[in-house]
Amino acid sequence: MNKNLWVIANWKSNKTIREALDWVSYVGPKIPKIDPSADGLKVVVCPAFSALSEVKKAVAVGNYPLVVGSQDLSPYNVGAYTGEEAAPLLKDLVSLSIIGHSERRENFTETDEIVAQKVKRAVENNITPLVCVQGSDTLVSDGCKLVAYEPVFAIGTGNPDTPDNAEVVARGIKSLYGEDVEVLYGGSVTSENIKSFIDMENISGSLIGRASLNAEEFVKIITSL
C-alpha cells in the first residue's frame, strides 16, 4: 500500500458509554494489527465527548490498533468557557479531531474563522485536525494536512457522490493546498461502496457516519478494503 488509508468512524451524537464499549470490544480485535504510526491502514473512532475517556481506556486495555478522536474541540484555550472542550484537556484522550463538520457549520454557525481557530488549537496540542469541506472552494486553514470532502447532499442520505467526482474534488484540494494534503471522502459510505472511493488515486480513506454505528457493518467496511 503506497498511501495511507484512513477509515474514520464519526458517531455524531450517538452511543451511551455501554454501547460505545460494546462496539470497541467487537471491532477492536478484528482490526488488522498494523502500527498506527506507520503508513497504511489507520482506523479511527470519534465517539461523543461523554464516552471518550472510557473508549480510550478500553482501547488501551485491549491493545487495539484503534486511534481515538473527537468530533470537535474548542476554539479557545483553557479558561472561563463553560461547556467547551479545550484542546489541552483533550490531548491526553485523542490524537485527531474532526473540525468544521457541515452539521456544525449549519447548526452551530461555525465560520471558516472559527474553524481556523480550532485547527490552530489542535495543532498547538499535537492533535491532528481533520477539516471537513463541502467542495474545493471551502477554505482549508493553515496547518491542516487532512481534509474530508463531504458534500452536504450525500451526508446521511444514502445518496453518495460519485467516486469520479470525489476524485476531481480531491485533486482540486491537493492542487490548491499541496500534494502532502491527504483527502478523504465522506457521505453515505458503506461496505458496499467504500472500495470504489478509496481506489481513486487521490482519495486516502473515508469519514463514515451512519454505517460506522453498526459494529458488524464497520468491520465489513474494514475487511472490504
* Of residues 86 and 152, the one with the C-beta less far from ligand PGA: 152
Q: Is 104 among the residues that bind ligand PGA (CB under 6 A)?
A: no
- The answer to whether residue 101 is catalytic is yes
Binding segment for ligand PGA (CB under 6 A), chosen from 66-74, 123-131, 183-191, 195-203, is: 183-191
In whole angstroms, what is the distance from residue 206 CA to residue 187 CA?
9
* Of residues 81 and 129, the one with the C-beta less far from ligand PGA: 129
SS (H, E, C) 17-43: HHHHHHHHHHHHHHCCCCCCCCCCEEE
* Of residues 99 and 211, the one with the C-beta less far from ligand PGA: 211
CA distances for 214 relative to 169, 186, 209, 210, 220, angstroms: 29, 17, 10, 8, 10
Cβ atoms of residues 200 and 166 within 8 Å: yes
- The answer to whether residue 167 is catalytic is no
Selection from 120, 74, 128, 96 nearest residue 9 by Cα: 96
Query: Packing angle between helix 215-223 and helix 17-27, nearest 10 degrees?
Result: 30
> What residues between 203 and 222 interact with ligand PGA by CB under 6 A?
207-211
Q: Give the shortest CB-210-to-ligand PGA separation in angstroms.
A: 3
Binding segment for ligand PGA (CB under 6 A), chosen from 22-30, 45-53, 78-86, 181-189, is: 181-189
> What residues between 128 and 167 interact with ligand PGA by CB under 6 A?
150, 155-156
In whole angstroms, what is the distance from residue 149 CA to residue 138 CA?
10
- Give me the residues that bind ligand PGA (CB under 6 A), please: 10, 150, 155-156, 186-189, 207-211
Annotated catalytic residues are 101, 150
